[in-house]
């Protein structure tokens, strides 16, 4: 790539990575936002849904805008809007303000990402290479997003996730400003105007379904780890990093199978299998989430690259078709979240109740002395009330343990049984939603299969 | 695309199906489908008494039977009722949620105590000679006294202990 303007290439890749990371970066911060802004699980998911919805709606119009007024100007303005709205997100003290700022952020993001695809061919020398850089920058951003978000949430605050984007977006905008200035001075739009071809409907439809399934996997797994299994955001970030890690490892083997349809079908099957595995976890243990995550990671690497390749292959202009893929992926995320949130929220309430009932039964049926039972029950009641809907950590209610060895043993046994019931309830609450995610991944096989016969 | 490429594609799809099925099969075999909280027992069903040894153990099982009986009357689980009796506030929330008043609650508790006597009698923990008079005593407990028994509760089992207390005393007095 001799002669490639490296600062501009880096800036474009950074812009794409930053914006696409934003659709998932906030996932690990949701429990924190949920508590701090005193909202509901359904309400807090709109922090994710709003961004993805506006991205889905704005991607294609933004691509058309980039071709009309110039990709340099569109990308520079898009990044400035994205940065400013990010600042507003970080300063928001109400859920409604945060959601509005997220919508504006997505508008800027859509402009920056689609314009970047228009600028990249001139920067790297070919449309094919540009698509590869654009897709890998986006995939890297989306993969790193949750982990970075988790670390920032725990070490600093959820607000820092958005505040840190302000300088990064401005840094990415600086090299692009030169193109924008050139366009303004000469009135020349760098990309040649061509007729826009029809989008690849089946590939984009499959992308939407698979994205819905992936959103389910990521969003639900994070909530299971933090809200159900009481992990810290950093701990959860480390655990969910397994998924992108397997995706990165698998991406090296994409070229071994040239058939995009086979890779897409295999990817969708693996994602469905991984989600079914998460729905059938036989115990609340982190290590058991790794095999399903491996399947989902490998699957998403196979299916996203194959479908993006199919949707963009031989179609011009790239920015418009890139806009369609962005639109399909984010629409899928929105559909996934909208379909799963009501199921998930009602299931978690019901399972929490079942778990608390089972825990109460453990105490009532135990052979501990009535005095020990009374004291324990009082403390457990306080613990349950203090957790405000979250699956409670029950251990503090058992401290200090009785001094008498026999009673101590009985109380420890009770604690373990009670915690087991709560873990069962928390884990099982996610099962129907994970299964629905698996079904969405399997449904993607329909457009993938149809694409074998009908080439649009 | 060559035939070899096509074969590699088929192998990839088949391999994915196998990997997905193996994972699901292993997790199912390990109990993934049954990893759920234990369901509460229907309080209207009999809860077998284990070998009661000593007054403490009898009191424990008597308490559970009484809770079952009262919960059955009210159409709730034994566990829900036990938590409702933990504190006066919890009882108030319970009454509001299920649309009942203290009088109905007291009647249910009295019915539960009668069932506990019957269960104790069937388990051989209470002689029929004692069970009869015991029933008479419980039937004569006035409603406000029954409410008082639950009001004395200061925690989940405090509530249970609250109404078991006089029953326990009753048993202690009646047992040989």
Same domain, A161 and A208: no
Q: Same structural domain for residues A164 and A214?
A: no
Q: Which of A250, A361, A366 to mutate to test the interface with B (most CBs of B within 10 A)?
A: A361
Number of domains chain A contains:
2
pLDDT of B71-122, one tens digit each? 999 999 888 887 777 667 777 888 898 998 888 888 888 888 888 888 888 8
A88 falls within a domain = yes
pLDDT of residue A201: 87
Contact call for residues B123 and B49 (beta carbons, < 8 A): yes
Judge if A145 and A211 occupy the same domain.
no
The closest CB to that of A364, out of B20, B21, B82, belongs to B82
Residue B49: closest C-alpha in chain A: A365
Which among A169, A193, A217 is the end of a domain?
A193
Residues of chain B positioned with their CB less than 8 A from the CB of A302: 12
Residue A348: its chain B contacts at CB < 8 A?
none
A357, B80: Cβ pair inside 8 Å? yes
pLDDT for residue B155: 28
Confidence of residue B123 (pLDDT cuts 50, 70, 90): confident
Q: Is A252 exposed, middle or buried (0-12, 13-18, 19+ CB in 10 A)?
A: exposed
The answer to whether the CB atoms of B157 and A363 lie below 8 A apart is yes
Residue A165's φ and ψ, nearest 5 degrees, are: -70, -25
* CA nearest to B84 within chain A: A381
> How far is Cα A414 from Cα B34, in angstroms, rounded to an integer?
21
Give the domain extent around A56. 1-193
Question: Whose structure tokens read 């299916």?
Answer: A303
How far apart (Å, rounded) are the C-alpha atoms in residues B28 and B18? Answer: 15
How far off is chain A from B130, nearest CA to CA, in Å?
24
Residues A114 and A42 reside in one and the same domain: yes
The answer to whether the CB atoms of B30 and A283 lie below 8 A apart is yes
What confidence score (pLDDT) does residue A393 get? 65
Nearest to B104 by CA among B136, B78, B81: B81
- Is there a single domain that holds both residue A248 and residue A393? yes
Mean pLDDT over B135-163 rounds to 48
- Residues A207 and A127 reside in one and the same domain: no
Cα distance from B61 to chain A (closest Cα, Å)?
Answer: 8
Q: Render pLDDT for B24-76 as a digit per residue (tens, 0 to 9).
A: 999 999 998 888 877 778 889 888 877 666 666 777 777 788 888 899 999 99
Same domain, yes or no: A125 and A68: yes
Contact list, B41 vs chain A (CB under 8 Å): 361
| Confidence at residue B165, expressed as pLDDT on a 0 to 100 scale | 42
Write the residue in A282, A360, A378 that is nearest to B35 by C-beta.
A282
Confidence (pLDDT) at B52: 61
Same domain for A390 and A438, yes or no, is yes
Residues contacting B80, CB < 8 A, separation 6+: A357, B71, B94
> In CATH, what number is assigned to the domain containing residue A84?
1.20.1250.20
Cα gap A281→B171, rounded to integer Å: 47
Q: Is A232 touching B (CB cutoff 8 A)? A: no
Ranges of residues in chain A with a pLDDT under 50 are: 1-2, 190-193, 454-456
Query: Which of A306, A309, A360 has the most B C-beta neighbours within 10 Å, making it the best mutation to test the interface with B?
Result: A360
C-beta atoms surrounding A235 within 10 Å: 16
In A17-55, which positions are buried (b, 16+ CB within 10 angstroms) versus exposed (e)? bbbbbbbbbbbbbbbbbbeebebebebbbbbbbbbbbbb
Interface test mutation site (partner A, options B2, B5, B8, B13, max chain A beta carbons within 10 A): B13
Per CB-CB distance under 8 Å, the chain A contacts of B39 are: 354, 358
Nearest CA in chain B to A423: B37
């Amino acid at each position: 790539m001799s002669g490639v303007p490296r600062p501009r290439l880096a800036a474009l890749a950074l812009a794409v990575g930053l914006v696409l990371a934003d659709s998932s970066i906030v996932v690990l911060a949701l429990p924190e936002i949920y508590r701090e802004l005193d909202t509901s699980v359904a309400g807090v998911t709109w922090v994710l849904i709003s961004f993805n919805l506006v991205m889905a709606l704005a991607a294609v119009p933004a691509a058309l805008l980039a071709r009309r007024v110039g990709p340099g100007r569109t990308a520079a303005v898009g990044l400035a809007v994205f940065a400013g709205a990010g600042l507003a997100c970080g300063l928001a003290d109400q859920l409604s303000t945060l959601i509005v700022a997220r919508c504006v952020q997505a508008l800027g993001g859509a402009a920056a990402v689609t314009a970047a695809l228009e600028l990249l061919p001139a920067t790297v020398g070919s449309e094919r290479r540009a698509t590869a850089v654009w897709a890998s920058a986006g995939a890297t951003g989306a993969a790193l997003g949750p982990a970075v978000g988790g670390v920032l949430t725990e070490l600093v605050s959820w607000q820092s996730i958005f505040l840190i984007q302000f300088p990064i977006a401005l840094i990415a905008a600086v090299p692009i400003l030169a193109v924008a200035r050139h366009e303004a001075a000469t009135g020349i739009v760098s990309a040649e105007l061509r007729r826009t071809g029809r989008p690849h409907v089946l590939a984009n439809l499959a992308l939407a379904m698979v994205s819905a399934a992936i959103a389910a996997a990521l969003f639900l797994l994070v909530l299971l780890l933090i809200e159900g299994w009481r992990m810290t955001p950093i701990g959860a970030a480390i655990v969910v990093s397994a998924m992108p890690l397997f995706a990165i490892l698998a991406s090296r083997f994409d070229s071994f199978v040239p058939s995009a349809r086979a890779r897409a079908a295999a990817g969708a099957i693996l994602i469905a299998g991984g989600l079914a595995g998460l729905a059938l976890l036989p115990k609340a243990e982190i290590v058991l989430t790794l095999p399903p995550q491996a399947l989902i990671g490998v699957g998403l690497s196979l299916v996203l690259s194959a479908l993006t390749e199919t949707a963009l292959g031989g179609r011009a202009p790239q920015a418009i078709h890139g806009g369609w893929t962005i639109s399909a992926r984010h629409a899928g995320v929105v559909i996934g979240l909208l379909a799963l949130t009501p199921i998930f929220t009602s299931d978690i309430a019901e399972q929490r109740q079942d778990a608390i009932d089972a825990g109460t039964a453990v105490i009532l049926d135990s052979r501990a002395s009535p005095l020990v039972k009374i004291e324990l029950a009082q403390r457990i009641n306080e613990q349950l009330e203090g957790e405000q809907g979250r699956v409670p950590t029950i251990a503090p209610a058992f401290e200090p343990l009785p001094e008498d060895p026999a009673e101590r043993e009985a109380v420890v046994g009770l604690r373990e049984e009670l915690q087991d019931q709560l873990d069962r309830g928390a884990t099982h609450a996610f099962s129907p939603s994970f299964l629905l995610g698996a079904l969405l991944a399997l449904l993607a096989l329909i457009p993938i299969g149809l694409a074998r016969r009908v080439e649009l | 695309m060559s035939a070899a490429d096509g074969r590699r594609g088929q192998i990839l799809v088949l391999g994915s199906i196998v990997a997905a099925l193996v994972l699901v099969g292993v997790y199912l075999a390990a109990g993934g489908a049954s990893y759920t909280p234990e369901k509460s027992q229907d309080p209207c069903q009999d809860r077998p008494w284990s070998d009661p040894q000593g007054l403490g153990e009898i009191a424990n099982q008597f308490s559970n039977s009484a809770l079952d009986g009262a919960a059955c009357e009210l159409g709730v689980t034994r566990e829900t009722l036990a938590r409702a009796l933990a504190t006066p506030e919890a009882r108030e929330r319970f009454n509001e949620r299920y649309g009942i008043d203290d009088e109905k609650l007291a009647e249910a508790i009295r019915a539960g105590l009668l069932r506990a006597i019957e269960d104790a009698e069937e388990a051989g923990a209470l002689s029929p000679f004692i069970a009869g008079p015991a029933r008479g005593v419980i039937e004569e407990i006035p409603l406000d006294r029954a409410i008082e028994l639950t009001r004395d509760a200061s925690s989940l089992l405090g509530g249970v202990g609250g109404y078991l207390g006089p029953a326990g005393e009753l048993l202690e007095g009646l047992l040989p």
